[in-house]
Amino acid sequence: MRIFQFYFNPKAKEDLIFDSFCFEPQNIYEKRLGSLYLIGALKNALPKSHNFLEKIAEFIKEVFYKKTLSKPEKALKETLKETNEFLGRIAKSGDVSWLGNLSFAVLNLKNFELNFTKVGEMKILLIRGRKIIDIDKRLRLQDIEPYPLKIFGSVVSGNLIEGDLILVLMKEVFEFFQNENLIQQLRELECFTDKDFKRILDGKREKLSKVKGIAFFVSLSKEISKQKKEIISAKTFKEFSLKEIFSPFLKTDTKKLKPFSFSAVFLPLMKEVLVFLKNPKSILILLFLLVLIIGYFLFQ
- Rounded to two decimals, the pTM is 0.70
Neighbours of 216 (CB within 10 A): 25
Residues 189 and 247 occupy one common structural domain:
no
251-290 pLDDT, tens digit each = 444 444 444 454 554 555 556 555 555 665 567 777 777 7
Residues 249 and 148 occupy one common structural domain:
no
- In this structure, which long-range contacts are made by residues 6-11, counting pairs with CB atoms below 8 Å and at least 24 apart in sequence? 6/197, 6/214, 6/215, 6/216, 6/217, 7/214, 8/173, 8/208, 8/211, 8/212, 8/213, 8/214, 8/215, 9/208, 9/209, 9/210, 9/211, 9/212, 10/212
In the chain, how many domains are there? Answer: 2
CATH number of the domain to which 15 belongs: 3.60.40.10
Percent of the chain with pLDDT over 90: 43
Residues 272 and 139 occupy one common structural domain:
no
Residues 27 and 148 occupy one common structural domain:
yes
Model pLDDT, residue 64: 97
Range of the domain at 14: 2-219
pLDDT above 70: residue 141: no
Residues 272 and 142 occupy one common structural domain:
no
Whether 51 maps to a domain, the answer reads yes
176-199 pLDDT, tens digit each = 999 998 988 888 887 888 888 888
Whether 208 maps to a domain, the answer reads yes
Model pLDDT, residue 204: 83
Whether 176 maps to a domain, the answer reads yes
Give me the mean pLDDT over the 38-43 stretch: 95
Residues 21 and 159 occupy one common structural domain:
yes
Residues 174 and 278 occupy one common structural domain:
no
Residues 247 and 100 occupy one common structural domain:
no
CB 186 within 8 A of CB 192: yes
Residues 32 and 91 occupy one common structural domain:
yes
Whether 59 maps to a domain, the answer reads yes
Question: What distance in Å separates the CA atoms of residue 185 and residue 198, rounded to the nearest whole number?
Answer: 12
